[in-house]
A and B are shown apart, each in its own frame.
Chain A
């Protein structure tokens, strides 16, 4: 069975400090992993994706994530938070079972304080 757990429902950081959003997954297959960002009343935008190439993945807006198979984790990081990073972030697992089965995490709301 496949599952995704975002370990924090809310994360609050100060502007200019590092961001860490945690995600653990479970999969019987070799998964593709994604992070999406959603600003209020907007659709989801892809930040980055892991599809079995390099384990350290760089995305847009300075975000990156590292796939750690031994820890079944795919945490999202950014060295320095910006006010515009305040949004909801979703970790997503996709596995190739009769097409693709996509499982969304519950989301982490990121607050950035001035």
Chain B
């Protein structure tokens, strides 16, 4: 069966520090991968998606970036965090057949 792992679960970082959130998927190959952000009391915002290694599409301009160094690994990064980067970050994957998404447990980022 397929599983998705996301870490770290919680992170407290000072403004201006770097960020790296990692997501890996097991039990499937060539998944579509996604990073979403959920600000407090708000819905989900798609940040990045990837249909293959090295293929990244950005949905919103910001100081975050994403990379897919391996087929089942998706990384969200920032060189310098802003206060507005605080939120709940969710990684997800899909097989591309039905549009169904499978989510990780999320990473809570607090920027102080």
A95 proximity list for chain B (CB < 8 A)? 99
Interface SS majority for chain A: strand
Q: Is A77 an interface residue (CB 8 A)?
A: no
Binary contact readout A41-57 vs B (1 if CB under 8 angstroms, 0 otherwise)? 11111100101000000
Checking B6, B88, B96, B104 against A99 with a beta-carbon cut-off of 8 angstroms, the contacting residue is B96
Number of B residues, CB within 8 Å of A: 22
A interface residue numbers (CB < 8 A to B): 32, 34, 36, 41-46, 49, 51, 90, 92, 94-96, 99-100, 102, 104-107
A-B residue pairs in contact (CB < 8 Å), sample of 16:
A32-B100, A34-B99, A36-B101, A41-B88, A41-B106, A43-B103, A43-B105, A43-B106, A44-B92, A44-B103, A45-B103, A96-B99, A100-B96, A102-B101, A104-B43, A105-B43
Quick one: which of B32, B42, B43 has the most chain A CB within 10 A?
Answer: B43
Chain A nearest CB, measured from B53 CB (Å) = 16
B interface residue numbers (CB < 8 A to A): 6, 32, 42-44, 46, 51, 88, 90, 92, 94, 96, 98-106, 108
Is the Cβ of A99 less than 8 Å from the Cβ of B51?
yes
Checking A32, A44, A107 against B98 with a beta-carbon cut-off of 8 angstroms, the contacting residue is A32
| Tally of contacts, chain A with chain B, CB under 8 A | 56
Is the Cβ of A34 less than 8 Å from the Cβ of B100?
yes
Decide: A106 near B43, CB < 8 A? Known: A43-B104, A49-B98, A100-B99. yes
Decide: A44 near B101, CB < 8 A? Known: A90-B44, A100-B96, A107-B43. yes
Decide: A99 near B32, CB < 8 A? Known: A34-B100, A41-B108, A43-B103. yes
Is the Cβ of B99 less than 8 Å from the Cβ of A102?
yes
A44 proximity list for chain B (CB < 8 A)? 44, 90, 92, 101, 103
Give the nearest-CB partner of A31 in chain B.
B99
Chain B nearest CB, measured from A91 CB (Å) = 11
